[in-house]
Amino acid sequence: MDRDRLVALLRPEITTIDVTILTSEAEKFQSQVLRPIIKFQHDLLILVFDSHLKRKQVKLASFSEEKQVALVEEIFINDRLFINELKGVVVALFTSDEYLKYNLSLSEINKRLIQIIKTRILSTILK
């Protein structure tokens, strides 16, 4: 079995996505590729985020919920190395064809990818 097929088989199916209403190619890519990979990688993404906080010696739990959100937003705006690490966690699970599509709309897809990850991290830490 080749890598592309194995990678695609790892992804969970997200039944709440209605692919018939997706309009743009970026939306389709987000729903059919990014969301399943990010869902599959959720635990690792949270671990990467926690490790980043430890390296920066940030104790998020010691802040108010409002300050936690502000700190997460700041990290996602200012820390390019961390953002690149997160992107790598997702891009590593693209098939060859998906990677080629990703390269065609790199900027737009990266914005979507980072927004989804940030939302997942916020919803996890603010439970």
Name residue 88's amino acid.
Answer: G
Give the closest residue to 48 by CA, choosing from 87, 12, 11.
87
Does some domain include residue 64? yes
C-alpha to C-alpha distance for 122 and 72, rounded to whole angstroms = 8
| pTM (two decimals) | 0.89
Phi, psi of 34, deg, nearest 5: -60, -50
Q: Which position has the token pair 């590729």?
A: 33
Mean pLDDT per segment of 10 residues, for the chain of length 127 residues? 88 76 81 95 96 94 93 95 97 96 95 96 88
Predicted local confidence at residue 23, as pLDDT: 75
Strand, coil or helix: what is 1? Answer: coil
Domain that holds residue 29: 3-11+23-125
Overall domain count for the chain: 1
